[in-house]
A and B are shown apart, each in its own frame.
Chain A
């Protein structure tokens, strides 16, 4: 039995960062036992890493469609894990998989999902209080989850994972359940980007509508290369076809938390800010001095990026030798 269950994911043989964040969030609730479902964990090391990360019980699924990441089977596995654990709080993450699996799990359990939460806590009566951005980030809602099971998904990178503690011990149990797969993957095409992955980059240089076309992204790439970073974009730039959709930072794109985020020609709609507002230092270059981005940026230059950026890069070059 456990009080909280994390619907986890395995990435490169280890618990995904979002899963370790979920475990940390559950621990912060102050509950006794935290279980984590780790489909695809066929190695003892992935389970050990989850225990070191704060879990007491790890449910593993070594093979089959859930281990392969089929969503239908993952919902079945998650439902079985909820029953087995008896958890009152079920926490997942708003990852590609979580976006699909978590709402479906919630409805199967007779409730709904508190999705994309920036924080979770418990009130005096033990109800899960979930805080989440709504209206594209223009408002923030807190809801109390009613009913016998609370289901929430956390926005990645909104909670820090716990420091790994190899001295922790826990239980590893294979999960048994019946998978009913209906939607099947026929083909997967990776459009591998070059260089540093956007989600992990310490510096992100993003462009928006104000760039006016695809060519200026070459300057952004040059700047990103200088700083060992990656290039991102607003939804407007992706929808215009200037860069592939994988570049999109925002509510419906990627969440990034780099040390430095440089937004060029981005007005700063909440939709976009939802994906970058937790960056350590946000720098904005925009022609419109009244743009929303200047309310969110730490440093801003109100000017024509075509003049600001080359001079900025030249000076940077000098500084970096």
Chain B
């Protein structure tokens, strides 16, 4: 039996965008200039985790699901270039990126049901835009599947997912019966770079596109949130820069200043 792995991948604004080019206006976030979007970093780690399972397992297929509106094809095809087999875009005006994860959860759940034979869903622990860290968990609850979060290592064997989870002061190994949803974290390691052959192969793949009409979204929950305001956080700090004759002198003056302020 072919093991069917689904990876969820979100296209996000580049989190490395310099603050000066990061704009918040009219309850929306944008970047100045032509900074291209990227695949959410943790989702690239999810692709990496899926590819490692595929290599270990042999007979496996990796399908990437991405939910959104305006896809940059060369960006969202990166998981294909890394080695994933198929790409399904859930593309519809109704899937506009929002702080409310309700619609993304409903769309991904419906798409996984439509694929039908999925054994495991692997997702990044959170997306770098809204930092909700809940779409994969919502999908698991909607599907009624087992969950394991914040993995640094994922193996599939004998109908179970074995996940090494990162803890604040250590790690633990958990076992979830398949089908299951697993999220991964940066501790998994750097995702592979696409090689030339992968990039060429990805170019030839035409993504499947599903809209609301293609998905059974009956009974979709109503919105959970209404966005009241979105703004740049206020910074109230008055910074005092401490200079000296040279760096060492500045270091000494810093200690004296902290003592003066009774910080030390």
Contact = CB atoms under 8 A, between A and B. Distances in A.
A142 B228 contact: yes
Interface in B91-144: 99-102, 105, 125-126, 128-134, 137-138, 140-142
Contacts of A312: 251-252, 254-255
Interface string A78-95: 000000000000000000
Contacts of A319: 255-256, 259, 264
Contact of A136 (B131, B223, B224, B252): B131
A294 interface: yes
B229 interface: yes
Interface string A296-315: 11111111100111111111
A300 to B, nearest CB: 5
A40 B46 CA distance: 33
Chain B interface SS verdict (over half): mixed
Contact of A135 (B22, B167, B175, B237): B22
Interface residues of B, number: 85
A239 B190 CA distance: 9
A295 B99 CA distance: 27
A239 B240 CA distance: 31
A190 B248 contact: no
Contact of B239 (A142, A188, A259, A298): A298
A99 B150 contact: yes
A11 to B, nearest CB: 12
Q: Which of A136, A141, A238 has the most CB of B within 10 A?
A: A141
B235 A296 contact: yes
Interface of B: 13, 15, 19, 22, 24, 29, 99-102, 105, 125-126, 128-134, 137-138, 140-142, 146-150, 162, 166-177, 180, 185-187, 190, 221-233, 235, 237-243, 246-252, 254-259, 261, 263-264
Interface of A: 71-72, 96, 99-100, 103-104, 106-108, 110-116, 129, 133-147, 182-193, 199, 227, 235, 238-239, 245-246, 251-252, 254, 259-260, 270-271, 281-283, 285, 289, 292, 294-304, 307-316, 319-320
Given A111-B221, A146-B222, A245-B187, 18 more contacts: A96-B167, A99-B133, A103-B132, A104-B137, A106-B134, A139-B24, A140-B230, A142-B229, A143-B99, A143-B225, A143-B227, A188-B172, A281-B263, A296-B239, A297-B237, A308-B247, A312-B255, A316-B264
Closest 5 interchain pairs by CB? A103-B134, A311-B251, A303-B247, A307-B247, A312-B251
